[in-house]
Amino acid sequence: MTIPTNRPLFLGLAMWSHNQWQKSLYGSGCKNSDRLARYAEVFNTVEGNTTFYATPAITTVKKWHDATPSDFRFTFKLPSTITHQNQLMHCDQLLADFLNVMAPLESKVGLWKIQLPANFGPDALPALKKFLQKIPKHLTYGVEVRHYAFFNKGDAEKTLNGLLVEHQANRIIMDSRPVFAAPPTSEAVIDAHQKKPHVPVHAIATATQPMIRFIGHPEDLSNDPFFDNWLTRLPKWMADGKQPYLFIHTPDNVFAPELAIRLYQKLQQRIANSTLSLPDIALPPEPEASPQITLL
pLDDT at res. 191 = 94
Mean pLDDT (whole number) for 175-193: 95
pLDDT at res. 6 = 78
Mean pLDDT (whole number) for 164-170: 98
- Write the Ramachandran bin of 153: left for phi over 0, alpha for psi from -120 to 50, otherwise beta: left
Is the pLDDT higher at 1 or at 205? Answer: 205
Is residue 203 assigned to a domain? yes
Asked if pLDDT for residue 289 goes beyond 50, the answer is no
Residues 218 and 188: beta-carbon distance below 8 Å: yes
From residue 228, give the alpha-carbon distance in Å to each of 77, 217, 221, 246, 270.
28, 14, 12, 14, 10
pLDDT at res. 228 = 97
Express as a percent the part of the chain with pLDDT over 70. Answer: 95
Mean pLDDT (whole number) for 271-279: 93
pLDDT of 211-246, one tens digit each?
Answer: 999 999 999 999 999 999 999 999 999 999 999 999
Provide the domain count of the chain. Answer: 1
Q: Give the three-state DSSP class for 223.
A: helix
Q: CA nearest 249: which of 296, 293, 215?
A: 215
Averaged confidence pLDDT in the chain: 94
Measured CA to CA, the distance from residue 109 to residue 12 in angstroms comes to 13
pLDDT at res. 64 = 97
From residue 3, give the alpha-carbon distance in Å to each of 28, 100, 138, 155, 201.
33, 18, 11, 36, 30
Q: For residue 171, name the pLDDT band (cuts at 50, 70, 90).
A: very high
Mean pLDDT (whole number) for 275-279: 93
Domain that holds residue 94: 10-270
Residues across the chain: 296
Q: For residue 286, name the pLDDT band (cuts at 50, 70, 90).
A: low
Is residue 291 assigned to a domain? no
Return the H-helix or E-strand segment holding 110: strand 109-115
Burial class (CB within 10 angstroms; exposed 0-12, middle 13-18, buried 19+) of 216 = buried
Residue 105 CA, distance from chain mean position: 17
Mean pLDDT (whole number) for 22-44: 93
Q: What is the CATH number of the domain that holds 46?
A: 3.20.20.410
Is residue 251 assigned to a domain? yes
pLDDT at res. 296 = 41
Measured CA to CA, the distance from residue 251 to residue 259 in angstroms comes to 12
pLDDT at res. 293 = 53
Is residue 129 assigned to a domain? yes
Mean pLDDT (whole number) for 30-57: 96
Is residue 168 assigned to a domain? yes
Which one-letter DSSP state was computed for residue 53? Answer: H
Is residue 253 assigned to a domain? yes
pLDDT at res. 183 = 95
Is residue 143 assigned to a domain? yes
Whole-model pTM? 0.94
pLDDT at res. 9 = 97
Name 30's Cβ contacts closer than 8 Å, sequence gap at least 6.
Answer: 22, 38
pLDDT at res. 27 = 85
pLDDT at res. 287 = 53
Angle at 250 between CA 246 and CA 251, to 5 degrees: 145
pLDDT of 238-271, one tens digit each?
Answer: 999 999 999 999 999 999 999 999 999 999 999 9
Express as a percent the part of the chain with pLDDT over 90. Answer: 91
Mean pLDDT (whole number) for 203-217: 97
Residues 112 and 67: beta-carbon distance below 8 Å: no
Mean pLDDT (whole number) for 139-156: 96
Mean pLDDT (whole number) for 271-277: 92
Q: For residue 3, name the pLDDT band (cuts at 50, 70, 90).
A: low
Is residue 219 assigned to a domain? yes
